[in-house]
Amino acid sequence: MDEMCTEQMAANETAKWFADKAKNILLLLDEQGNIQYANQAFKRLMPFSFENCPKPSLFHFIHKEDREEAVNRLLYFEDSASFTPFLSGFSNGKGREGQLLWQDAERTANGRIQVIAELIEEKGEEEQKEDGWLHFVAHHTEDPGYIVDLRGKVLLVNAAFEQVFGWKKQEVIGRTALLIPEENHREWQSRMDEVCDQRRQVTFQSVSKKKDGGAFPVAVTICPAYEQDGDVYLCAVFIKDLTECLETKNLLEKQNKLIAERERLLLDITENITEMISLFDVQLNKFLYISPSYVQFFNRKIEDLYHDPEFVLKNCHPEDLPKLVKFLSEPAAQAKEIEYRVLKDNGRELGWIHMKITPIADEEGTMNRWINISRDITELKKKELMIRKWDKLSAVGQLAAGIAHEVRNPLTSVKGFMQLLAQETNNKYTDIILSELERIEFIMNEFLILAKPHQAIQRTLSNINEVLQDVIEFMKPEALLYGAALHLDFDETLPAVCCEPKQIKQVIINLIKNAIDAMPSGGNIYLTTKLTDDNLAMIKVRDEGIGMSAERLERLGEPFYSNKEKGTGLGLMMCYKIIENHQGTIHFTSREGGGTTVRILLPCS
């Protein structure tokens, strides 16, 4: 027990020693504000011996104007709220005056109040003004700062000023324009005038210089100080070194410019190549980027493509759709490719696409995005088809040359003997045999046309309109017989064409016959001639027949392929061959139930 009392006494002595050595004022007040304890920092302020007088009230030493606020803040503060520091006037009654800064207060368990305060003694006017400005300049910012009068003379500088500019305080006080390059004097003076005239803070960018003469970019802020009448009498100048900021800014601008140039280059590449490039997010099921080439191929607005991520499937040919769905739904760690057919222009045109998909993995290795590079290979497929047709034409031509010699001569003999036999026997089957022999002879004649070389064509300058007019006169009776009406729209300014008129007539007759066959119930057939922008003579034959599917269009011109029950396919093959020999082109467009249009292009003379 005695040991515990001894330790308590030692602790009290130690606490009293610390309290007396403290520079701050430490007080213990009762509930009425009487001083129960004061440390040496407070006792030294008293003009009497503190121990030999009754405990005075603290508020006897508070200026009367501040007394009410001090009572409320020190005696009646909320225990649950944090203490708010405040200032009050102080006087010991014997000439010692100043300001007490009440820093903290806390209520003890028995209701007493512990207080910490600091005396701020008053100084002379000039000393107070200098200390106040130095405190403002030193603590307002970590950047260099100094005070100047209205003539620009330096009155005070802070520590950061000496470190940055290299001048000592005594080297710059009372001097002007040491910090300003000569070419910037006018700018700085105009800013000072602006501060004085408009009585407001001004910030601007300029150039300053150090003691060694080095100039550097700065951001300058000039703050005015006012007299009691409101006039500006001093200015505080704060300077921020912008060298690092500008270097960083220039570096960022260069990097941004380089990035922008690369992005522009990449954008120019992706938006001006024919390949269709897109970036698809598998998890979000939407396109993140679609190149403009998609718009040209599918003939749809770019916004519609973004809003309809399934347009790839919707435009796929029905027969290739299962294959494409399987291709897109199967995950893959490597790039994969596919070729499939698409229906362009709302199903009116058939196209081909070669698609290559490259998966992109995230940081966790999950394949959540695809880069899709697709190419329009429609023309390539058409060329392949054309090559196959040419190969077949060539084979048929060679075959026709042999058949012409091997079959036609015996066929003529058989036909002659059958005619004699028919006269002698009057057999009812001879007419059928002769009819079939004539059909064989007709097929042989078509073979012979295919077998003729290019040099055998005797071309002349011909008026295509006149050639077509002759065909119309020849085909009118047959057209009327089947209820077909022929409509003509000829371009009278069409130049002459170097051609073999009989072969051109044969092509047009074949096309008109096909049009009549395509309209079992009759209809209209339109024949048009026109000069294209490429200086080519165009002949267009359009009917209102049953039309053809895209698959049948692909096979037109193949030998022995025909839409007719008894057709051989050699008629259209012959048309292709004749137009090819005239260095022209023939193109079919059709849709089921919507008729067929044939365009023939021939070079003008």
410-445 in b/e burial notation, b at 16+ Cβ within 10 A? Answer: eeeeeeeebeeebeeeeeeebeeebeebeeeeeebe
Judged by average pLDDT, the poorest of 21-30, 102-111, 125-134 is 125-134
Helix (H, G, I), strand (E, B) or coil at 526: strand
Residues of the chain with CATH 3.30.565.10: 454-603
Residues of the chain with CATH 3.30.450.20: 17-121, 125-241, 273-375
Per CATH, is 125-241 categorized as 3.30.450.20? yes
Contact 129, 137 (CB under 8 A): no
What confidence score (pLDDT) does residue 455 get?
45
Band (pLDDT 50/70/90 cuts) for residue 252 is: confident
What confidence score (pLDDT) does residue 538 get?
92
Question: pLDDT at residue 557 above 50?
Answer: yes
Helix (H, G, I), strand (E, B) or coil at 332: coil
In this structure, what token pair is assigned to residue 132?
């106040």
Band (pLDDT 50/70/90 cuts) for residue 348 is: low
What confidence score (pLDDT) does residue 449 get?
62
Read off the pLDDT of each residue in 244-263 and give the average, rounded to a whole number. Answer: 74
Tell me the per-residue pLDDT of 151-176, one tens digit each, with 9 for 90 and over: 778 888 887 888 888 888 778 877 77
In this structure, what token pair is assigned to residue 367?
């394949």
Question: pLDDT at residue 14 above 90?
Answer: no
What confidence score (pLDDT) does residue 128 get?
47
Question: pLDDT at residue 85 above 80?
Answer: no
DSSP string over 497-519: EEE-HHHHHHHHHHHHHHHHHT-
Band (pLDDT 50/70/90 cuts) for residue 358 is: confident
Who has greater pLDDT, 523 or 94?
523
We find that the CATH architecture of domain 454-603 is: 2-Layer Sandwich (3.30)
The rounded percent of the chain whose pLDDT value lies above 90 is 3
Of 81-85, 139-143, 389-393, 532-536, the range with the highest mean pLDDT is: 532-536
Question: pLDDT at residue 396 above 70?
Answer: no
Judged by average pLDDT, the poorest of 186-190, 389-393, 504-508, 599-603 is 389-393
Question: pLDDT at residue 26 above 70?
Answer: yes
Contact 132, 123 (CB under 8 A): no
The CATH code of domain 382-451 reads 1.10.287.130
Location of structure tokens 């009917």 = 543
Who has greater pLDDT, 484 or 99?
484
- The conformation of residue 83, written as its DSSP 8-state character, comes to P
The rounded percent of the chain whose pLDDT value lies above 70 is 80
What confidence score (pLDDT) does residue 601 get?
92
Helix (H, G, I), strand (E, B) or coil at 74: helix
**Measuring CA to CA, which residue among 351, 349, 341, 337 is closest to residue 318?**
341
- In this structure, the number of other CB atoms found within 10 A of the CB of residue 502 comes to 11
Read off the pLDDT of each residue in 540-563 and give the average, rounded to a whole number. Answer: 74
**Measuring CA to CA, which residue among 578, 543, 575 is closest to residue 562?**
575
Read off the pLDDT of each residue in 238-258 and give the average, rounded to a whole number. Answer: 77
Overall pTM > 0.85: no
Bin 523: left if φ > 0, else alpha if -120 < ψ < 50, else beta.
left
Contact 235, 222 (CB under 8 A): yes
What confidence score (pLDDT) does residue 137 get?
54
Band (pLDDT 50/70/90 cuts) for residue 393 is: low
Residues of the chain with CATH 1.10.287.130: 382-451
Mean pLDDT value across the chain: 78
- The overall longest dimension of the chain from CA atoms, in Å, is 174
Judged by average pLDDT, the poorest of 431-445, 446-460, 531-545 is 446-460
The CATH code of domain 273-375 reads 3.30.450.20
In this structure, what token pair is assigned to residue 460?
């002349």
Tell me the per-residue pLDDT of 464-495, one tens digit each, with 9 for 90 and over: 899 898 888 888 888 888 888 999 899 888 88
Question: pLDDT at residue 149 above 90?
Answer: no
Who has greater pLDDT, 449 or 195?
195
Read off the pLDDT of each residue in 587-595 and give the average, rounded to a whole number. Answer: 86
Who has greater pLDDT, 599 or 350?
599
In this structure, what token pair is assigned to residue 351?
């196209």
CATH fold for domain 17-121: Beta-Lactamase (3.30.450)
Band (pLDDT 50/70/90 cuts) for residue 528 is: very high
